[in-house]
Amino acid sequence: MTENVTIHGKDGPVAADWEPRIIAFLCYWCSYTGADNAGTARLKYPPNADIIRVMCSGRIDPELITTAFARGADGVMVCGCHIGDCHYISGNHKTMARMPLIRHILTELGIEAERFVHDWVSAAEGEKFARLVREVTENVRRLGPLDWPRRMRERGVGHGLELHPWGESA
Amino acid sequence: MSTEEAGKTAKEKLKIGVYWSASCGGCDISLLEIGPHLLELVEIADIVFWPCAADFKYRDVAAYPDHHIDICFFNGGIRSTEQEEIARLLRQKSRTLVAYGACACDGGIPALANTKTVEGIFAASYHDNPSIDNPEHLAPQPVTRCDFGELELPRLYPYVLTLADVVAVDYRIPGCPPVAERVWEAIQALAGGNLPAGNSAVKVACTDKSVCDDCSLEKRKMRIKAFKRPHEAVPEAGWCLLEQGFICMGPATRSGCGALCTKANLPCRGCYGPCVEVQDQGAAMIGALGSILDAVTEEQAKEMVDRIADPLGTFYRFTMASSELKGSK
């Protein structure tokens, strides 16, 4: 429950009604069922994660992650079956091998490491899923909004927008 | 050619403009690479603006009526106030505006500076660098007062933008630089009106496949054991460079060049930009690499990719400005 006060994020004051928006990519066979498990067990966790179900975590193209941030997500979660449990045998091995590079690129572009979370959630781990969402939401809330679209607008990306040269106030 | 035909051609001659903004100038030269076709080009077209090759001034362009230039090849990204002004002017004066080369299409090499601040760039260029001797800390100023008035310099924007970020673009010709044969085909198509409807920034002068599809090196379906840099090992001839551990952007790069670099046993650098329906070339490359790493645990994968020098600069070498995130926060 947000009270009517100004929250202070990492980059300054934040609107009082701001809520972290987290995009969670979950695989169909384990993690989505795990999230379902959290629901049927009536576990409490914040409603900030928007779940997108995909058939396999190996199907989550890194472009989906960069797109989520670029279109305004404050955080992104990627969850799949534990190694050895993949319905498609090796899909999650590919997810795993992509993670170090994705983390490296995001960090280098200034997206804090806590905004991107990757973990394995089995169909029985509703508790773990609820904990992950709680952790990510709290971490992101502490960091404040990422608001990539606004940052890009200020830098003049997009048609017909007024550009502000360096040294002139926006 | 009869006199009547000659008269007709002269009357209907195309007017071509070429401009150069945030780029190295190689694109201007690459237009000359069409070689003997240049003679055919001058037969069908007149140059009405090309600062690199002929003496035209901005005021000449400003004096043209709107849509006077039939085809304008614009190479380079938008980095400064001057470049944006000319981009808007040329859009107004051109019937067809073509983003020519990797920089105009996707930002190119200059857009790698999107990961740095303008203050940082000025510091590295004028103050804080071992090779610089500047005891008075002089740096270019936007406005300088002198005896005969004020002198103005263009100012830099915080980001390098693609041409399509600033004005509507009809077609894009990718490549660093675009390959001459493709360029000539595109010029013929433009002159003959045989291209898809404009104003959509569609990429032409390239194919719908990836560089790997055009590459003749043998794929042995082996996983990458360790990454190598070009100076660390001699690649085995005839074998896929990526499988040998050299970072080759082939899987994530649109084809059109005919796999020129891998023909010379050099890894693809990715200058033709992302494949069809892909926005983020670097992310696509990470996706491709993840599928062929010979790693069992994430720690192992991390150890392997830590050997890649500058992943951001390698995967987004030519496409930072058109990628999803476009630069650093």
* DSSP character string of B256-299: -S-SHHHHTT-----TT-SPTT-S-HHHHHHHHHHHHB--SSHH
- What gap in Å lies between CA B227 and CA B304, rounded to an integer? 7
Regarding beta strands B69-75 and B149-152, do their DSSP bridges make them parallel or antiparallel, or are they unpaired?
A: unpaired
B239 in helix, strand or coil? strand
Residues facing residue A7 across a β-bridge: A14
H and E: helices and strands count for chain B: 14, 10
What pLDDT does B196 receive?
Answer: 76
The count of residues in chain A is 170
What pLDDT does B37 receive?
Answer: 93
- pLDDT, tens digit, 9 for 90 and up, residues A65-97: 999 999 999 999 999 999 999 999 999 999 999
What pLDDT does A14 receive?
Answer: 76
A168 interaction partners in chain B (CB closer than 8 Å): 155
- Residue B113 neighbours by CB under 8 Å, 6+ apart: B121, B160
B324 interaction partners in chain A (CB closer than 8 Å): 63, 66-67, 69-70
Residue A3 in this model has a pLDDT that exceeds 50 = no
DSSP B165: H
Interface probe for B, chosen from A56, A78, A98 (most Cβ of B below 10 Å), is: A98
- Domains of chain A (ranges; CATH) run 18-154 (3.40.50)
Contact at CB, A97 and B81, closer than 8 angstroms: no
- pLDDT, tens digit, 9 for 90 and up, residues B221-244: 999 999 999 899 999 999 999 999
What pLDDT does A5 receive?
Answer: 46
- What gap in Å lies between CA B19 and CA B208, rounded to an integer? 27
Residue A170 in this model has a pLDDT that exceeds 80 = no
Query: Where does B3-110+157-203 sit in CATH, by number?
Result: 3.40.50.700
Residue B100 in this model has a pLDDT that exceeds 70 = yes
Q: Does A159 touch chain B (CB under 8 A)?
A: yes
> What tokens were used for A97?
């091998």
What pLDDT does B20 receive?
Answer: 93
In degrees, to the nearest 5, what angle opens at C-alpha B37 toward C-alphas B6 and B74? Answer: 100
CA distance from start to end of chain B: 61
Task: For chain A, give the mean pLDDT.
Answer: 88
ipTM of the complex: 0.90
What distance in Å separates residue B163's CA from the closest CA in chain A? 10
Binding-face residues of B in 267-306 toward A, CB within 8 A: 278-280, 282-284, 286-287, 289-291, 293, 295-298, 301-302, 305-306
State CA B284 to chain mean position distance: 18
Q: How many CB pairs under 8 A join A and B?
A: 135
pTM, two decimal places: 0.90
pLDDT band at B3 (very low <50, low <70, confident <90, very high): very low
- Residue B284 neighbours by CB under 8 Å, 6+ apart: A61, A62, A63, B251, B252, B274, B275, B278
Interface probe for B, chosen from A71, A92, A101 (most Cβ of B below 10 Å), is: A101
CA atoms within 13 A on the CB side of B87: 28
Going from N- to C-terminal start, the domains of chain B cover: 3-110+157-203, 120-153, 207-329
- pLDDT, tens digit, 9 for 90 and up, residues B189-232: 988 888 777 667 888 889 999 999 999 999 999 999 999 998 99
> What tokens were used for A25?
């990519």
- What gap in Å lies between CA B301 and CA B186, rounded to an integer? 43
- What gap in Å lies between CA B52 and CA B89, rounded to an integer? 18
Task: For chain B, give the mean pLDDT.
Answer: 91
Regarding beta strands A22-27 and B69-75, do their DSSP bridges make them parallel or antiparallel, or are they unpaired?
A: unpaired
CA distance from start to end of chain A: 34
Query: Dihedral sign, CA of A129, A131, A134, A136?
Result: negative
A164 in helix, strand or coil? coil
B312-322 average pLDDT score = 95
Residue with tokens 């004066």: B93
